[in-house]
Structure 1
Amino acid sequence: MAAQPLCEECKRQGKLTPANEVHHILPLARGGTHDRTNLMALCTPCHSAITARDGDRWGTR
């Protein structure tokens, strides 16, 4: 997270929140990679919200 110390989602909303998780934009299970272009720095609440919305963690997709 040294490369991106702030949550990218919060930053879009004008908030400065430390990032503490890395999110795969296209999940590994769906063909995503660990390439930087597929990663986002997020805070825990944003990461949880995106994961729940996308249904990736609980296999609802």
Structure 2
Amino acid sequence: MRADLFSRDPLCADCKKVGRVALATQRDHVIPLAEGGPDDETNEQGLCDACHEAKSLAEAQRGRYGPRK
């Protein structure tokens, strides 16, 4: 699944949103599996290491403290 994702879209999804260009190195679930997201191509995106780490930290905090209000 990872190789298919990177062959379809080799760039980091979050970097593209802000005008940066970086290669995706991590297969990421847009909606985390722990929050009910499916493990298929409808719920995946490629992220660079930095963006993946930032997203993972935010998800961990949300898991501990609940969603921000």
Instruction: With the length of structure 2 as denominator, give the TM-score of the two structures.
Output: 0.74
- The gaps in structure 1 that reach 5 residues or longer are none
The share of aligned pairs that are identical, in percent, is 37
Q: Is the aligned partner of 1:50 residue 2:49?
A: no
Distance (Å, rounded) in 2 between the aligned partners of 1:36 and 1:24: 9
Structure 2 residues not aligned, in runs of 5+:
1-5
| Bigger helix share | 2
Q: For residues 16 and 55 of structure 1, what CA distance do their matches in structure 2 show?
A: 26
Spell out, residue by residue over 1:6-27, the C-alpha distance to the aligned partner (whole angstroms, 9 max, x if none).
0010011101100000111111
* Pairwise CA distance, 1:2: 1.0
Q: 2:34 is aligned with what amino acid? A: A
Partners of 2:35 and 2:14 in 1: CA distance: 22
Structure 1 residue ranges, 4+ long, deviating more than 3 angstroms after superposition:
none
- TM-score by structure 1 length? 0.82
